[in-house]
Amino acid sequence: QKEVEQNSGPLSVPEGAIASLNCTYSDRGSQSFFWYRQYSGKSPELIMSIYSNGDKEDGRFTAQLNKASQYVSLLIRDSQPSDSATYLCAVIRSNDYKLSFGAGTTVTVRA
Amino acid sequence: EAGVTQSPTHLIKTRGQQATLRCSPISGHTSVYWYQQALGLGLQFLLWYDEGEERNRGNFPPRFSGRQFPNYSSELNVNALELEDSALYLCASSWGQGRGYTFGSGTRLTVV
């Protein structure tokens, strides 16, 4: 079982729609969860962090965490062409504090 | 505030040579992390340094090594380069355990 798994994608959404990205993790003791955005050829950029169950909103982005289900999600509302990128889910392991990444989901927003 | 800086941006080496990559963390961050991202693959954890000590390493052979200096900057050394070492090498820093990492722009290593 992979430490962090994401829906494989690619995900194509029309401009203005909601993009929904999902992630599950295997370490039940994990307490810190992140979403990174990576444009092609660039380094990952931290866009959301979430530490407790529930929703966290930041602009057009909403992260959702359910520790009982070991599930993290990211919603992008009013998607824009500039949101076209690969989104990486990352989880800090509880035993050694290593940040483990999922394989990423590539999102394309169609104008 | 300056971000995480990496040098060089690009590096071309011949198989069998050694490569040295450098990283300066954000001021105040004591932890430095190294990741490898091969083309089309995910981020693979390489090394973690904190307060000058190696805290953890990923599943990479010993020819991947590094160190952290008293000013918290770090270098990654890759010996006996192989073609499959060609990748984007990313350095990141954080200000505490459990917090998100900030990545540098990376060093693209090409082994020919």
Per-residue pLDDT of chain B (112 residues; tens, 9 = 90+): 679 999 999 999 999 999 999 999 999 999 999 999 998 788 999 999 999 999 999 999 999 999 999 999 999 999 999 999 999 999 999 987 778 899 999 999 999 9
| Residue A55, pLDDT above cutoff 90 | yes
- Averaged pLDDT for residues A80-87: 97
Query: Considering only CB atoms, which chain B residues are within 8 Å of A45?
Result: 103
Chain A nearest-CA distance from B1, in A, is: 16
Return the pLDDT at B67: 97
Q: Could you tell me the pLDDT band of residue A62, with boundaries at 50, 70 and 90?
A: very high
Q: What share of chain A is helix, strand, coil (3-state, %, to 5)?
A: 5, 55, 40
Phi and psi based region of residue A41 (left: phi greater than 0; alpha: psi -120 to 50; beta: remaining): left
- Averaged pLDDT for residues A13-42: 95
Return the pLDDT at B1: 64
Return the pLDDT at B97: 73
CB-based contacts of B83: which residues, under 8 Å, 6+ apart?
B15, B111, B112
Query: Considering only CB atoms, which chain A residues are within 8 Å of B55?
Result: 96
Compute the half-sphere exposure of residue A104: CA atoms within 13 Å on the CB side of its CA: 20
Residue B98 has its nearest CB partner, among A32, A45, A101, at: A32
Residue B100 has its nearest CB partner, among A31, A34, A96, at: A34
Return the pLDDT at A40: 92
Beta strands A105-110 and A11-14, pairing class: parallel
B22-49 pLDDT tens trace: 999 999 999 999 999 998 788 999 999 9
Percent of chain A with pLDDT strictly greater than 70: 100
Q: Is B15 on the interface with A (CB under 8 A)?
A: no
- Averaged pLDDT for residues A44-67: 96
Query: Considering only CB atoms, which chain B residues are within 8 Å of A5?
Result: none
DSSP chain B: ----EEE-SEEEE-TT--EEEEEEPPTT--EEEEEEE-TTS-EEEEEEEETTEEEEE-S--TTEEEEE-TTS-EEEEE-S--GGG-EEEEEEEESSTTSPPEE---EEEEE-
Q: What are phi and psi of A83, to 5 degrees?
A: -80, -10
Test the A interface: residue of B4, B29, B99 with most A CBs within 10 Å: B99
- Averaged pLDDT for residues A24-39: 95
User: Are B42 and A88 inside 8 Å of each other by CB?
Assistant: yes
Do residues B23 and B6 touch, judged by C-beta distance below 8 A?
yes
